[in-house]
Structure 1
Amino acid sequence: MEVQYLYISLLLFLASYLFTSQIRRKFSNLPPTVFPSIPLIGHLYLLIKPQLYRTLAKISAKYGPVLELQLGSRPILLVSSPSAAEECFKKNDIVFANRPKQVFGKIIGVNYTSLSTSPYGDNWRNLRRIASIEILSVHRLNEFHGIRVDENRLLIRKLQSSSSPVHAKLMFYELTLNVMTRMISGKRYFGGDDRELEEEGRRFREILDEAFLHAGVSNICDYLPILSWLGVKGLEKKLIALQERIDVFFQGLIDQLRKSKGDGVVNRKKTMIELLLSLQESEPQYYTDPMIRSFLLDLLAAGSESSNGTMEWAMSLLLNHPLVLKKAQDEIDRVIGNNRLVDESDVAKLPYLRCIINETLRLYPPGPLLVPHESSEDCVVGGYKIPRGTMLIVNQWAIHHDPKVWNDPERFNPERFDGLEGTRDGFKLMPFGSGRRSCPGEGLAVRMLGMTLGSIIQCFDWERVSDDMIDMTEGPGLSMPKAVPLVAKCKPRLEMMNLLCEL
């Protein structure tokens, strides 16, 4: 009998909870929500499903493009249409310029001095200014142009001398990391003859792999604070230990460059660390070593992880669509010829190559769920009231795959971008985010994507290792990696043999 009373009590509690929730929602003009929302945990059960962006896209297709979810104690605004995204990043850009504090305070490798996580205000504006003017400006990227050209040529030489199938993921990973580490510290870790540097690079890769694996991972306590009161720590100890390894590694790079001071080399371009250390000399209380370390990891995340993944997806798509690959080669032959390699400045004259890159970013955006934002005050989105402190999640994967937005959205069709300039199409295509907190590394990523893909398409004929189509299954992770890494065969094109021999 007591058990029966317990069941009845639980049912009454649940009915009361659902009734009061619906009444509150109706009179507060809140966005529609998803059934069921379980007491205490809300919609946390959704997070256990793989490929969360697909799950959320199905929910939005059923309930609407502006939804409210409840992850434990945290209210969530889920947006999945270009018009709603425009309201968030244009009309309410300042309102949503913050990051969720509890969640992002525990992301590995970053803290409140980080560009990616600093609350909106004077400190963030200064960090953004440093990134936009001192580190990732057009002028500064032009200064580092020689590094990217050099790494591109080394990649072509490596592919030319290779007789075995190419592991594309490793190839692009090492390329982008070499570019970034040379720009950051002047060190080239992969593909050289220095055993000591290779060992340092191996440790660096292990740290980065673990950091990217845990990037965006937050403790369950962020959503259910009661667990922290009960002593639950989640991943906190593991993340703290990894943070210490990251700090030790980057501090070693900082100390080395502080000690060397360029070794007296005249007219040598300063690395990013040296630029930050020169700023530290004038404002040591602001440009502290911890601030520089956080800045460096932000730069690596912005400039490497998204670029190498996009290149692997692009080559996978081209291998499954050889006619598109041939059309891209024909364009490069016609515009560039076979007496020199594609350069970054040539990409503007290669519209079909840009279409391929845009279509790849549409189908496989490097961040299918944009980095979350948080409202600093009440606002209105889609006609609904959004309370202060609501976390904003924009499902750009859902927007990029919406049949109401794109014709036949699951088909790889670069021609759909004919006549569109740049890498954006309003708020229909946002591979690097939008608004004040869009990715500061977009300019660098676009340069690397264009020159690298253009060069390897120009110089080599590519084909699959078997008659089977390339597996396009998406793996787990915030950056949407391929579940099965790409392996392909390539051979030098006859038209390019003279130039390849000169390299």
Structure 2
Amino acid sequence: MENLYCYLALLLSTIFIIIKLSNNRNKNLPPSPFSLPIIGHLHLLKQPLYKTVETLTLQYGPILYLKFGSRPILVVSSPSIVEECLTKNDIVFANRPPTMAGKHFTYNSTAPVWAPYGNLWRNIRRFASVEVFSHISLQKSSIVREEEVHSLLGQLYKVSNIEPQKVELRYLFSLLVSNIIMRIVTGKPCVGKEVESMDVGKELLKEFKETFFADLAMNMCDFFPILRWIGYKGLEKDMIRLQRKRDEVLGRLIDEIKQKKTSSLNNATIVDVETKGTLIETLVHLRESEPEFYSDNVIKSILLVNTIVTTMEWSMSLLLNHPEKVKRRGHLLNDSAFAKLPYLCCVINERVLNPPQPFLLPHFPSEDCIVGEFHIQRGTILLVNAWFIHRNPKLWEEPNRFKP
């Protein structure tokens, strides 16, 4: 029976691809290497992926058309073409591609980064600008960041007092950012100070990250939709199971805030709007004025904030591998000191030119458009090849050197 499903999937995929090829025959598509039936260019991909794409870019040019199964892919490796896509055609490319992970892990694409262009997208951006990234909001949360940084440094000092030993920065950075986010969102850290054992802390942090930092990358079911119908490797079942777990945790957090607020009102306690401390309290409060927008699912999707752990780890790796670039300070720094530290700004700018991920988050055109001189179909996934752009010797002098 399983073989029958495979043959059926093969037949349907072949028919679909033949129809797509006949539709594309008369359109001016970007340069593309030879592709195979059904799988397209997947046979060309080898790890690491960015090196394979670099080889193809050098051979076919800065705008490259690929097919990953049923999905057309546009890989752009030129700043001018990227600008054309994301400036001239910014509204066309404002969406993210629909994926199986996106459907289950972002509450049907209502998360800030994955929301489709429109009223929901504008409302989420407005909320993020005012309640999360505004100067006032960042000032309010600065004490949380400072306390968690001091806690991390205290752990490092405690370890160094015993004897010199290697330190796993990935764990410490993950702990730092996760605790900051959880305290801003809920008022409680992910792993509290009462956890003395680093092994216990690692287990708690691992469980937290597995639950809330789900992988949104595309998988084989996104490239071959027929595989989703037959439950390929149980991928979708695992996603549904994980999402139920996340949903239960977030639901409990929201219910706690509702009960706390109801209890305060019943006890005739005056609640000052300006004292709303956590992000989840702010969201529950805003739902009273805009219930049509701040549904439970939208609130939960906003709470699922991504972290900057990889960015921090990558920055520290660059500094440690270039000790001559490290400048020492005699005291701890806070947010207000940032503007007075031009060298630190240069380090951050140089880190931007060494992105931890080779491709930016994908974009998804909502209609056909022209990029360069080429016809780009609606539904083509746009991948910006940041790794190649930031290491192109035609654009940068000594691009592979770390030079703040």
TM-score, scaled relative to structure 2? 0.84
The whole-number CA distance in structure 2 between the counterparts of 1:205 and 1:110 is: 23
Partner SS state of residue 38, structure 2: coil
Instruction: Give 1:119's match in structure 2, choosing from 91, 113, 116.
Output: 116
1:399 maps to 2:389: yes
Deviation at 1:136, TM superposition (A): 2.4
The whole-number CA distance in structure 1 between the counterparts of 2:255 and 2:23 is: 60
Q: Name the counterpart of 2:335.
A: 344
1:42 maps to 2:32: no
Instruction: Give 5+ residue unaligned stretches, structure 1.
Output: 1-13, 415-503
Partner SS state of residue 185, structure 2: helix
Q: Name the counterpart of 1:291.
A: 298
Please say if residues 211 and 246 of structure 2, whose CA atoms lie closer than 8 Å, have aligned partners that are also in contact.
no
The 1:31/1:234 distance shift into structure 2, 3 A limit, reads: farther
The 1:308/1:59 distance shift into structure 2, 3 A limit, reads: same
The 1:228/1:192 distance shift into structure 2, 3 A limit, reads: closer
Deviates more, 1:173-182 or 1:354-363: 354-363
Instruction: Give 5+ residue unaligned stretches, structure 2.
Output: 1-13
The whole-number CA distance in structure 2 between the counterparts of 1:56 and 1:377 is: 26
Q: CA-atom RMSD, angstroms?
A: 3.0
Deviation at 1:66, TM superposition (A): 0.5
State the AA in 1 paired with 2:283: L
Deviation at 1:204, TM superposition (A): 6.2
Partner SS state of residue 371, structure 1: coil
Please say if residues 191 and 204 of structure 2, whose CA atoms lie closer than 8 Å, have aligned partners that are also in contact.
no
Please say if residues 184 and 273 of structure 1, whose CA atoms lie closer than 8 Å, have aligned partners that are also in contact.
yes
Partner SS state of residue 37, structure 2: coil
Q: Name the counterpart of 1:245.
A: 245
The 1:149/1:232 distance shift into structure 2, 3 A limit, reads: closer
The whole-number CA distance in structure 2 between the counterparts of 1:174 and 1:237 is: 29
Deviation at 1:272, TM superposition (A): 0.3
- For residues 108-127 of structure 1, what are the alpha-carbon distances to aligned partners after superposition, in whole Å with 9 as ceiling and x for unaligned? 34422222222211111111
- For residues 240-259 of structure 1, what are the alpha-carbon distances to aligned partners after superposition, in whole Å with 9 as ceiling and x for unaligned? 11111111122222222222
The whole-number CA distance in structure 2 between the counterparts of 1:344 and 1:293 is: 29
1:236 maps to 2:236: yes
Please say if residues 107 and 216 of structure 1, whose CA atoms lie closer than 8 Å, have aligned partners that are also in contact.
no
The whole-number CA distance in structure 2 between the counterparts of 1:286 and 1:206 is: 31
Q: Name the counterpart of 2:325.
A: 324
The 1:366/1:184 distance shift into structure 2, 3 A limit, reads: farther
1:215 maps to 2:215: yes
Deviation at 1:173, TM superposition (A): 1.0
Partner SS state of residue 34, structure 1: coil
Please say if residues 172 and 312 of structure 1, whose CA atoms lie closer than 8 Å, have aligned partners that are also in contact.
yes
Deviation at 1:311, TM superposition (A): 2.1
- For residues 311-343 of structure 1, what are the alpha-carbon distances to aligned partners after superposition, in whole Å with 9 as ceiling and x for unaligned? 222222222222111xx22xxx4xxxx4x5212
Q: Name the counterpart of 2:189.
A: 188
Q: Name the counterpart of 1:275.
A: 282
Please say if residues 211 and 242 of structure 1, whose CA atoms lie closer than 8 Å, have aligned partners that are also in contact.
no
Please say if residues 31 and 63 of structure 2, whose CA atoms lie closer than 8 Å, have aligned partners that are also in contact.
yes
Deviation at 1:282, TM superposition (A): 2.1
Please say if residues 372 and 392 of structure 1, whose CA atoms lie closer than 8 Å, have aligned partners that are also in contact.
yes
The 1:107/1:398 distance shift into structure 2, 3 A limit, reads: farther
Deviation at 1:24, TM superposition (A): 5.3
State the AA in 1 paired with 2:130: I
- For residues 458-495 of structure 1, what are the alpha-carbon distances to aligned partners after superposition, in whole Å with 9 as ceiling and x for unaligned? xxxxxxxxxxxxxxxxxxxxxxxxxxxxxxxxxxxxxx
Partner SS state of residue 250, structure 2: helix
The whole-number CA distance in structure 1 between the counterparts of 2:101 and 2:83 is: 24
Identical columns (%): 45
Please say if residues 66 and 73 of structure 2, whose CA atoms lie closer than 8 Å, have aligned partners that are also in contact.
yes
The 1:139/1:128 distance shift into structure 2, 3 A limit, reads: same
The 1:124/1:77 distance shift into structure 2, 3 A limit, reads: same
The 1:124/1:200 distance shift into structure 2, 3 A limit, reads: farther
State the AA in 1 paired with 2:392: D
Q: Name the counterpart of 1:80.
A: 77
State the AA in 1 paired with 2:61: G
Partner SS state of residue 64, structure 2: strand
Tell me the number of residue pairs that the alignment of Structure 1 and Structure 2 aligns: 375
The whole-number CA distance in structure 2 between the counterparts of 1:50 and 1:152 is: 36
Q: Name the counterpart of 2:30.
A: 31
TM-score, scaled relative to structure 1? 0.68
Please say if residues 190 and 208 of structure 2, whose CA atoms lie closer than 8 Å, have aligned partners that are also in contact.
no
1:169 maps to 2:170: yes
The 1:315/1:229 distance shift into structure 2, 3 A limit, reads: closer
The whole-number CA distance in structure 2 between the counterparts of 1:210 and 1:193 is: 22
The 1:399/1:388 distance shift into structure 2, 3 A limit, reads: same
1:358 maps to 2:358: no
Deviation at 1:409, TM superposition (A): 1.5
